[in-house]
Amino acid sequence: MNQQDELEKLVLETLSLFDYFNLERIFLEFEENDLLVYPDFNRSDLEELLKSLTADKKLCQKRVNGEIYWKKNFPQRKSFIKRIFAHILK
């Protein structure tokens, strides 16, 4: 697993499915040990990572008073018909 994937996993573990977090709160929610593993991880890296996760539809964002907040998206389930066809085609 490369560093980018590990950082994505760290951010996804930190964010909530229910509450929106801003950049400062995301940094505050990180464990100290995780940040020590990536000493060169900074705010601009986090912003780029959040943009890519939002583009991949893993996060949703909203703006409040000009500040951006993020939260995790609920995982999408396949429809009933797609699950049946997947089971039949196995």
Q: What is the pLDDT of residues 1-58, one digit of tens each?
A: 688 889 999 999 999 989 999 999 999 999 889 888 888 888 999 999 999 999 999 9
> Where along the chain do its domains lie?
3-88
Topology annotation, domain 3-88: Arc Repressor Mutant, subunit A (1.10.10)
Give the three-state DSSP class for 45: helix
State the Cα angle at 45 between 18 and 65, rounded to 5°.
Answer: 50
pTM over 0.85: no
Are 29 and 80 spatial neighbours (Cβ–Cβ below 8 Å)? Answer: no
Higher local confidence (pLDDT), 11 or 89: 11
